[in-house]
Structure 1
């Protein structure tokens, strides 16, 4: 399997349900992600501009491929309300083969 076909699991936090839903729908509608799961009610503690801050956020779990990542990143940065959005991609080493093939195929729709 070539590198562009490698399945990635991307993490992204959003400040509220509306922005999370908008981002999830945009990425799937534009075939940049096969699926986006939203996890509500997470608490994030982080340092921002010299201050320790805690906020409620929604976590997005974005399934895509390495070949789609740059386009996904550009779109996410354009749509996301944060000044510095979180976007972390982790390669999927193993999984249900049929599901991983679906993720690969869904990016081309």
Structure 2
């Protein structure tokens, strides 16, 4: 599977699992490039695939957000809101892992 399809699949799975909720900003092209070690066109194609599917919409100079274009009427999360949501998810994941592992 080409890298752009792998990236699109991962983002799609994050949306379906609720890790990326409607209105949540998805990673930018630059963030995808750094995270996956791909070129700009690969990151751009992944975003284009998701946009064509209607899974995300893009607002120029703001980013790409989860949901169909009709969801644009909702205010996208501010960057600070997104950081807080990401931190809550990391804490939840770490807490679950700690509870699942036996004490030493």
Structure with more relative contact order (C-alpha pairs < 8 Å, separation 6 or more): 1
TM-score using structure 1 length: 0.27
**Higher Cα Rg, which structure:** 2
Instruction: Return the structure number with greater helix share.
Output: 2
